[in-house]
Structure 1
Amino acid sequence: MGNTNQDTKMFGLFKNNSSTKVFSISHIGDRKENQDSLIHLKSGLSECYLVADGMGGHSGGKLASTKFCTAMSQLFPLYINNIDNIDNIDNNNSQDINNLIDDARLQMCQQVKAENPDLSPHTTAVLVIYDKEYAHIAHAGDSRAYLFQNQALTWQSKDHSIAQLMVDQGDMEETEIPQDQSQNILYRSIECEKKHLINISRFKIGSGDKIILCTDGFWCFVKQQELLDLAQSSKPKKTLKQLTQKAYRRAKGDADNITALLIQFPTT
């Protein structure tokens, strides 16, 4: 419990010409290193927001999340330039985004293996590609996306975990996931050994909508009402820091890395 403010990174307000605003934070928790990574990118009329959580159960977790984000930052502009109408991408025709993610995965693997061939890098990933009208949300693992529209939580991603499968089968309540031992047993991630088809969800973005992207170190210890409070907050940077501190305290000395990113879409 001896972490200081030096272990917390509050990222400054990211604001572009469209008035989309982004607030983000990353805290080391009680771990020896922070294996979480995050980026926000802009290319033409499109933007990409990404949170990744290197999986500590495998070797090379920190490298995995870092290299995946680096690869995405390099490849995203190239893919956007090759897509004439990204707003035509829907849940049944999302090959372009899947290709982008898979190419970033392959580049991650090449770079990590070049540094240490014995590593087995795995990372979760949750990302948003926004084109000024639609948000395309993709994820692998248990890093989550929450969509808020009309002052309410209208959608959240489903974890690729054994605990989530138990919920889907009716063997457990969703509220029990954070405390269940199978919460961090994942059957899908960004990894070198296997390519996973990534599910893409597509939403039309309205005035004042918000999206929260976060790792399990955040959502496991933050209540749903507190997420709504963050989405509605008039001081999101302050609220985000307060919730991160709450998540850290609630972990009672065993806090994972804690990372969250709030996207505020333009109000018209």
Structure 2
Amino acid sequence: MIRLLLFFVVCQAVTQKPEETPSITASQGMVVRWPGNCKRCSLEDKAWNPVNGTCYYPIDMEKKTGTYSISRRTTGGKLETARLIVTEKPCVHNDIKNFKKLEYVNVSAKNLARHRREMDVLNPFLAAKLEERPNVFDLPVGKPANSLPPGKGFGECRTFNGQASDRHTGTDYGISAGKEVLSVGNGKVVLAANHFFSGNSVYIDHGNGLLTEYFHLQSIAVKPNQTVTKGQVIGRVGETGRTTGPHLHFGARWHGQIINPGYLLMDPSDMPQVK
């Protein structure tokens, strides 16, 4: 009788299926979410706070493909893990022909030196641990302009007159010159300046690792260290810098990852979800 009972227990242990690890597959530049009563979220060696109880995982546009471990800690103290499978998003090549601003094609040594100086000022802001500041935004964020048309161009590999090359880090919106540009959320202006390639540019820190970028402005209406609110006018659409015409370049970096900013504008329930 004891042998039969032991055999039954062993069979149960062998045939019982282990609980499957949740997973999500997404391509470079996307944002995925893991809803629940979350207290802390992490990917590799980085950790940050959730937004309204949901963990969001931004994937850089050039993140190495493969499988990564993500985790979350619930408000009850439970640590849960899942697999994030990153796939490649092929770079669409776009050669902009008959580009008239030739100083941006054959860049002079003077302008190249200017660009390097500008990057020396900008890079510390891009590398800063913005997640240390409290979260002051909700998702979806507000629109960067009223009557926002469909955006295009995120992640494109661009060449100009078949020469100068560029990986486009934001989304372009075809808006007429002079139209108001709005902050997509509450935050703090970390930089507002004229740069060689991006023209009149504004960078806003929204806390919890989110930095938004607004390029090629005709004019700037804010100053560094200024606190702004969601929907506040921060400038007007223009065509300064390397452009083919008036438009708004809207970009986003979240926890240091360059992402398609369209994910910040969509209903979170439409984002890919860990299951």
TM-score by length of 2: 0.24
Richer in helix (by share): 1
Structure with greater strand share of residues: 2
* TM-score, normalised relative to structure 1: 0.24
Q: Which has the higher contact order (CA 8 A, sep 6+)?
A: 1
The structure that has the greater radius of gyration is 2
